[in-house]
Structure 1
Amino acid sequence: MRFPKKKLASGVFLCALALGLAAPVVTTAAPAKPTERSRQKAAAEAKRAGIQQKLTALKKEISRTESEKEDVADTLAESEEAISNANRALRDLAQEQLDTNLRLQDLGSEQERLALTIISQKKQLSALLREHYVAGNEDRIKLLLSGDNPNRINRDLQMMAYVSQAQAKLLASLNANLAQVEENRAKVENAKVELEEIAGEQRDQKAVLEKEKLRRAALLNDLSSKLVTQRKQVDSLQRDEQRMSGLVDQLTRLIREQAEAERKRQEALAAARAKAAAQAAAEEKARALARAAAKAERDRLAKEAAKAGKPPPKPLPEEPRVAETPKPALEERTPDISLAPAAPKGAFAAMRGRLSAPVSGTIAARFGAKRGGDGPSWKGMFIKAPEGTEVRAVAVGRVVHSGWMRGFGNLIIIDHGGDYLSIYANNQTLLKRLGDAVRAGEPIASAGNTGGNEESGLYFELRHLGKAFDPASWVKF
């Protein structure tokens, strides 16, 4: 059986095209580049730096007002902060590892689905090419000039068009799936690199953690007698309380200032938008009036020409567009890290008596009781709990302090709006960073005995307008 040369060439070309699509795509090794995870981490740290500078300055200001000699517990500060940071980093890395592995599983499933789809599409394309080759694919021009029945010609042309469309769609879909396979491969490679990064960071953090634990144990052994003596000093306890009150007052002021600045910014933004909208409406109205006047003039000229028996005049040039006044640049920036609460005003007060306990343990000291028999009164509650026990936020809010503080160790403070703050001290690890929004019951720290405390547990306070109040009637212990 002989085939026309044109037909044979066409079939060979399409077969070559199919074979080209079926061939595996060869990729060359690209130079190493930062992963998406690395870029996101760098952006998050840069964003966090702004407000951190303010709080660092605030801490220095509080320290300058103190006249006492250095506290023995300060020797532990660097080590306890390092242990907290290492534990938090390990927890974050474990979560990242889990998320990345889940992403890899999803990508693997998607890759399998695409592979099956591509195999099916290649089979369809091969069948179409084979039928195309056998049928000969009559040329459209030749068909039109054949002098055959017009109805048959029309039907054949339509059939040819349908076949061409089907082939084009199949080729486009196959190319899209092949491109998606390559994109998935790149994502898989990126995820594998991220897992290697995470594993490396975990090894580093574990080494830091073990080193700092040994260092802290040695320091505690050397300082134990001094710490016991200093804990019994009434003036030391009073200074700790004054330090906490000073920090709370400064935080309250900072939160109010930022909230007021944000309120004014939003008002200015709303006013600028309203002005821009009014200006745009006025300009549109002016353009509409100009268009109406131009149309009326054209109609008048056309009527006059018709009465005079003359051809209608050429259209007048369009009226010049009313120049648009440049719109003011509206500031849409997000604050570095907002200290505004993550809950509306009044939400915390409405939860009175229904707040969950911050930690599971035994209450060892209650609000108002004397410390050490004749010392100052407790401004909060101390709850005994094993080291590492999860500490949870009592309500929705935003972290406004996360760091080490003399007398309180690793300390975290959450703003709940309406001038309500909750305070969690003596933690082993701080799991949340400055500016993080937290949900009620979300883990924010783990219990410990930092800051020179004798027992492991959590020191917990509630404050309103800077003043401590009894948590017993608010929290379900």
Structure 2
Amino acid sequence: MFVCLLPFQVLGQSKEELQALQQQIKQKQQQVAKQLAKAKALQGELKQSELKIASAAKALNSTEQELKANQEDQRNLKKRQSEIQSKLAKQQETLAKQIRSAFMTGNYDYAKMLLNQESAAKFERTITYYQYLNKARSELIDEFRMLGEELTEINLSLIVKQDGLQNLLDRQQAQQATLTQGLRSREQTLSKLQSAIESDAAKIEELQANEQNLRKAIAEAERLAALKPTTFDGLAKLKGQLLMPADGRVRKLFGTKRQGQVRWKGIIVDANAGSNVVAIHHGKVLYADWLRGFGLVTVIDHGNGYMSLYGHNQALLHQSGDTVSAGEPIALVGQSGGQSSPNLYFEIRYKGDPVNPTQWLKL
């Protein structure tokens, strides 16, 4: 009797174990789903923080460009000021010599010369000399006056530029404070986001969702590109010759495992925050917006199915529809998309599929 019941007891235990395992899987799935839902909500907060940072960084970058232009203008004005002052000093000396010369030769008595009927030729030469001297002196005085007026204008311009410089410095300080505050707020959100995605399963699902978002964005960009075909000739003839998109240390991650079965589709360039991200070749901006997992992204269409993608930016300098030249700044290096350090995420795609960027860039 005992022998006959044993298989049924084993079967009962196996059934119970299976049910327990299924319950554990269900709980795990619910836990992952809960983590992803919390992460999704925090991604919204992260997006708002990073967009505020982008706005502040872009404004700061613009102010810094104005500062450079102002300082360059002041250097040019001071150079011209020095030139004019030197010229005025020389002209003053020349004019003084002419006045002294006129005084020294000013003993001619024209009436006496006429009454004494002095040589007509000599008289004519004297008159011509005085006319020449007076004309030269008059021209010198006019030039002296014009230079004096220009110097006055330059001095006024320098005062205006110096006031403008102070205003720009004040604006820069305020923008820097806004940027710092935004970065602090972002760090708090990022910390919550990292805590929300605890398990490997949740991390993999998050990466897969991010990748799907990127595919959708690229597909939409391709659809728009097809509506308005460009005359750009693609990148096929430029393999190994394309410009580096940013200055920094290249992490050749393409094709390597990222998490689970998710693999890297591009490379990372570790660079200084706020430094320029440049277009690798001329093209048209198809996408310029924030994208979950990739932060602020720019996608450029180079024609014939070739596109380049630039992610993790601090700020975008061009909008969708803009045409850009090779080497033109299109963004500022940042750490948007939840990055812990400033870097550029870079991809090259051909007809939607990623290709190894290191084979195309001039490293």
TM-score for the superposition, normalised by structure 2: 0.71
Instruction: Report 1:94-243 matches (<5 A).
Output: 94-136=64-106, 147-227=117-197, 229=202, 232-233=205-206, 236-243=209-216
Q: 1:108 to 1:241 in 2, by over 3 A?
A: closer
Query: How has the CA–CA distance of structure 1 residues 446 and 253 changed in structure 2, closer, same or farther, with 3 Å as cutoff?
Result: same
Q: Work out whether residues 60 and 176 of structure 2, in 8 Å CA contact, stay in contact via their aligned partners in 1.
A: yes
**Aligned 8 A contact 2:49 2:185 in 1:** yes
Write the letter of the residue equivalent to 2:148: L
The 1:349–1:134 alpha-carbon spacing in structure 2 relative to 1, beyond 3 Å, is same
Q: What is the alpha-carbon distance in structure 2 between the residues aligned to residue 421 and residue 139 of structure 1?
A: 90
Do the aligned partners of 1:390 and 1:445 also contact (CA within 8 Å) in 2?
A: yes
Deviation, structure 1 residue 95: 4.2
Partner of 1:244: 217
1:342-357 mapped onto 2 (5 Å cutoff): 345-346=232-233, 348-357=235-244
Deviation at 1:349, TM superposition (A): 3.3
| Cα distance in 1 between the residues matched to 2:226 and 2:116 | 92
Q: Are residues 146 and 164 of structure 1, via their aligned partners in 2, closer, same or farther at CA, if it must alter by over 3 Å?
A: farther
Contact 2:317/2:329, CA 8 A, preserved across alignment: no
How many angstroms does 1:113 deviate by?
Answer: 2.8
1:433 and 2:321 correspond: no
- Give distance in 1, aligned partners of 2:310 and 2:358: 15
Which secondary structure state, in structure 2, belongs to the residue aligned with residue 423 of structure 1?
Answer: strand
| 1:180 to 1:134, Cα distance in 2 relative to 1, 3 A | same
Structure 1 match to 2:16: none
% identical aligned pairs: 22
Aligned counterparts, 1:367-382, within 5 A = 367=255, 372-375=259-262, 378=264, 380-382=265-267
Query: Equivalents in 1 of 2:66, 2:189: separation in Å?
Result: 33
Give the whole-Å Cα distance in 2 for the aligned partners of 1:414 and 1:141. Answer: 88
Q: Secondary structure at the match of 1:422?
A: strand
Letter in structure 2 aligned against 1:196 = Q
Answer yes or no: is the 8 Å Cα contact 1:408–1:426 preserved in 2.
yes
* Distance (Å, rounded) in 1 between the aligned partners of 2:220 and 2:109: 87
Q: In 1, are the aligned partners of 2:245 and 2:279 still within 8 Å (CA)? A: yes
Q: Is the 8 A contact 1:248 1:466 kept in 2?
A: no
Aligned counterpart, 2:268: 383
Q: How far does residue 219 in structure 1 lie from its aligned partner after superposition?
A: 1.4
Q: Which amino acid is 1:157 matched to?
A: I
The equivalent residue for 1:393 is 278
**What's the offset of the Cα at 1:172?**
1.5
Give the deviation of 1:169 after TM superposition: 1.4
Q: CA deviation at 1:118?
A: 1.6
Distance in 1 separating the partners of 2:72 and 2:241: 36
Question: Which stretches in structure 2 are left out of the alignment for 5+ residues?
Answer: 1-38
SS at match of 1:355: coil
* Structure with higher strand content: 2
Match of 1:405 among 291, 301, 311: 291
- How many angstroms apart in 2 are the aligned matches of 1:143 and 1:406? 100
Deviations 1:82-108 (A, max 9, x none): 223333443443343344334323322
Change (3 A) 1:153 1:94: same
**Which segments of 5 or more consecutive residues in structure 1 lack a partner in the other structure?**
1-68, 260-343
Deviation at 1:423, TM superposition (A): 0.8
* 1:183 Cα offset (Å): 1.9
Q: Which residue of 2 aligns with 1:12?
A: none
Check whether the contact 1:412–1:424 (CA below 8 A) recurs between aligned residues.
yes
Please name the residue that 1:423 is paired with.
309
Cα distance in 1 for partners of 2:308, 2:238 equals 13
Q: Distance in 1 between matches of 2:228 and 2:138?
A: 62
Q: Partner of 1:232: helix, strand, or coil? A: helix
**2: CA distance, partners of 1:254 / 1:193:** 50
**Residue in 1 that maps onto 2:12:** none
- What is the Cα-based RMSD across aligned positions, in Å? 3.7
Deviations 1:424-457 (A, max 9, x none): 1122x23633347454396843142x22357764
SS at match of 2:81: helix
> Which AA in structure 2 matches 1:471?
P
Contact 2:271–2:333 (Cα < 8 Å) also in 1: no
